[in-house]
Structure 1
Amino acid sequence: MGGVGEEMRVLESREWYIASYAPQGVPNSDHLKIRTAKLSLALNSIPERHVVLETLFLSVDPYLRSRMTGREDGLYLPQFNLNEVIIAFGVGRVIKSNDTNYSEGDIVISPVTPLAEYCVASSQSITRKIDPHCGISTPEYISLLGVPGFAAWVGIEVIADPKPGSNVFISAAAGGVGMYAGQLAKLKGCRVIGSTGSDEKVRLIKEEFGYDDAFNYHKEKDFDAALSKYFPNGIDVYLDNVGGRMLEAVLNHVNKHAKIPLCGMISEYNKVWTEREGVRNLLNLVGKEVHMQGFMLGSYMDRFGDFAKEMEGHLKHGKIGSKIKIFHGIDKFLESLGSLFTSCNIGKVVIQVKE
C-alpha cells in the first residue's frame, strides 16, 4: 500500500505570480502575490519527457523587473503574463521522473524554473545535470556559473577583450555581474576601478575582489570629477551596468577606440522611458571611434561551454571569488527583488527554497 500512497500523493506548492503590472517603481505586494497550487505525483499525471522538481535555489536578477512593467517600450524581454507563475533561472532536485534520462535525486538547472516550491518541468528545458559532490557549491551554478558570471565573461572576454594595462571601469561593481567582471579584467592584467553604493562595498571589491581602486557614488556625486580623478589617462573599457548619468560621464573620459559593453541599466528600470536619464554627449562616440555594444546572453550560447570550462577552472584554482546573498524561503521573493534596487545589497542574490 506504501507504493499506492506515493503514487496518489499530492504536493502543495507556494508560487509567485503577477497580479498587476508595475509600470514604474519597485514592484510591491499589490503587483506580486503568492498562492498555493496542488501538484500530483501520480505517474500518469506527469507528461512524457517531463519531471517533477523540488526547487532548491532561485536566481533573482534585475532583468526580472523589466518583465513586470506591462510595457513594450524598448525593454529587451517579453512581459510576463498576468496571473501566470513568474519564471527564473533555478536549481532543482528531481523527485519524480517520466524521462529515462533523469532519475529521482538528480540535481538539475533550468533557465525557466517557476518561482514555486515544486513544479512539473519539460526535460527539454533542463540545461545541465550537476554533481553536488564535485566541490562547487550549488548556488554557484546560478551565480559564477550562471547568468551573472556569463554576462561578465561575455562583456569582458568576448566583447571588450582588453589588452594588459588597459584602464577598465565597472559600474555596480559589487553586484552579481560587476564582482566577476572586475576579477576577469584583473586576470587579463588590467587596471580596474569600480563604482558602488557604499563604503563597505568599496572596501569589499578592493580587498576581496582585487580592484585597484573604487569610489562610492553617493559621496562622489560629481561623476565627471570622480572619473577625472580615478582615470587621469582615460578609460579604455567600460562595462555598463547602470546607464543614465554614469554612462554620460564616462563618455567624457573614453580613450580612442574604447569599448563599452552595455550589460544593463539598472538605474533606469523603474522609470517609464520619458523619465529616463538622457545621454547628451554621444558625439564623443564618433570623435573617439568608440565601440558601444549592447548584448543579450542568448546570442552567445554557442560560447557557454567555453565560459563554463574557463570559469570552473578559475573557481577551483581560487582565482575568482563570489559573494552570494541568500534569502531563505519562497516567501522572500518580494524582499529579495527589492534588494536589487538599493545600496544595501552585496553580490549575487538567490533564494534558497529547499534544503
Structure 2
Amino acid sequence: MAITDLDDGGLSALVSELGGKPFQARQLSHWIYRHGAADWDECRNLPAALRRSLAERGPPLGSEVRETVQSCDGTEKLLIELRDGETVESVVIPDGDRTTLCISTQVGCPVGCVFCASGLDGVRRNLDAGEIVEQVLHARRRTAGGAALTHLVVMGIGEPLLNLDALLQALARIRDQEGIALGARRITVSTSGYPDRIDRFADAATGVNLAVSLHAADDQLRRRLVPTARATVAEIVAAAQRYFTASGRQVTFEVVLLAGVNDRPRDAAALIGAVRRMPCTVNLLPWNPVERIPDLRRPPPFRVQKFAEALRAGGLNVTVRKQRGADRSAACGQLRIQAALGRESPDVQAEKAEPPGLGSE
C-alpha cells in the first residue's frame, strides 16, 4: 500500500508502527503533498531510522511516469504506470499565467462515447484515491521551477462519478490546506451525465465546479453518440440545475463538435431550448481525430464559429476550446492505447527518426 492510499489516521498509525513520533506523521504528509518528495532521503527532518523503515516498504509513490509526449505549444501528456502495470494519462496544459492539469479516474472508460479513444477497449478498473492524487504530484514535480499548477480538471480517462467514493477522498486531499492546497473554485469535475450521481456529488458539498458532457440536446442523437446513456437530456439538465442550486457554482455543458453530426443549425436550436433556463456556460470542443475512429471528422473553424454565434444569439454564454497538443496525439486515451498495443506512440517514433538538430528549428 502506497503512502497516498492512507488517510491521516492511517498515516499516524504507520509512523507509530515504524517507531516514529506522532508529530512526524504530519511532517511526512508535508513532504509528500507539499514538497512532492519522490525519495525518502529528501525528507530531511525525519530521522534516518524512520526513513530507512519507510524505504523498506517501498517508494513514496506507488506509480511512476512511464512516457511523456510534449507538443510544440507546451502541452505535455504523461503516461503513468500504476502498481499493477495498468496505465492512465494526465495532461499538463500551460496557457499564459494559467497551468491546468487534466487527470483520469479509471483505467479505461465504461461510457463508450463513439468519438472517444478512452473507451475503445472498455474499462478495466477504478483508480483508488491515492492513484488519482499521485497524478497531481507527478505533474507538480514536472512543473517545478516553472509555472505552478493553478487549475485541475477531472476529465481525463474514465467517468469520475462512477468512481465517486475515491474521487471524493482524492478531492479532499487535493483541497487540504496542509497538503496540495488547491482551492475548490479552481477544480472542475466532468461527467457524462448520471443524475443520481450528480445529486450525491452535490450532497458531498465539495464546492468544485461541475461540467456535463452533453454533446447533443436531442435524446435520439445523444444515445447514438453516448450508447450507454440511460437518462434523458431533460433529466440530466434538471440534475445540473440542482447542483447549481446546492453549490452556487454555475454548470458548464460540454459539446464535442463532429462535422455533419451535431454541428447543424437544428442542433444549436435544440441545445438552446434545453439549457437556456438555467445559468450556465456551453463549452464547444471541436473533435480531436482518433486513429482508430476514421469515420468522424472535425468541423472546420468557420462551422464552429457559426455554431457558437447561433448559441450566443439564443442567449447562451459560449466558450470554444483552443486546439492544444494537435501535433502530439491530442485526443484523450491515445497514448495509453499505443502503450497497451506494445508499441511507442507515432509521436515518439517520429522524434526518434528526426535527424539531430532539426527538432529545435
Q: TM-score, normalised by structure 2?
A: 0.30
Q: TM-score, normalised by structure 1?
A: 0.30
Structure 1 or 2: more strand by fraction: 1
Structure 1 or 2: more helix by fraction: 2
